[in-house]
Amino acid sequence: MPDYEKLRKNLEARGFDVTYFDTAAEAVDYLDRKLDGKAVGHGGSITLRDMGLIERLQRHATVRSHWLGDSFADAAASSVYLTSVNGLAETGELINIDGTGNRVASTIFGHEEVYFLVGSNKIAPDYDAALWRARNVASPKNAQRLGKKTPCAVRGDKCYDCKSPERICRALAVLWEKPTGIGRAEVVLIDEPLGY
């Protein structure tokens, strides 16, 4: 089990707000209340999809979602942004790998509030382990999900640092601290496995 107390302390020392929930359902209730009436964009995220949060928010917030036909630019212009991470170190670093770049860009600049929704499976003991997981666990699973013609998608075992035209790993963002280009950043820890 992750050391949530250590993680909380390290994230707070790096400028992130931290909330913790035992279940995804509790986290959805919390965010549903908190984001009432706000303009919300999001990045591609299996965590977010599985939580069903977007459907809940659509009832009473202004949701800008590429899942609903909106552009990435629409999501980027929203005051609130939701995403997960590909790896979170107990030492406090947040790691994301992206292909288009919309998701990592929005974690760094331009939003009043960014929420990182993180299931227990994303947490690793330190930076090297979190980066390893992002590259060798999260990215191959995402390549498989997207039906990419990459060695990781065929074999599903690790990253091959491929030169494929369909490579999905084109940008790596490590947040050492909350960037000054966003207003608030909150890491929502959920003690259930979620997403990749």
Residues of the shown chain interacting with ligand SF4 in the complex, contacts defined by CB under 6 A: 139-140, 143, 150-152, 159-162, 164, 167-169
CB closer to ligand SF4 out of 112 and 157: 157
CB closer to ligand SF4 out of 77 and 172: 172
Least CB distance from residue 39 to ligand SF4, whole Å? 32
Least CB distance from residue 111 to ligand SF4, whole Å? 26
Taking alpha carbons only, the member of 33, 81, 90 closest to residue 179 is 81
CB closer to ligand SF4 out of 121 and 144: 144
CB closer to ligand SF4 out of 126 and 161: 161
- Whether the CB-CB separation of 168 and 146 falls below 8 Å is answered with yes
Least CB distance from residue 5 to ligand SF4, whole Å? 32
Least CB distance from residue 129 to ligand SF4, whole Å? 17
Taking alpha carbons only, the member of 66, 98, 82 closest to residue 168 is 98
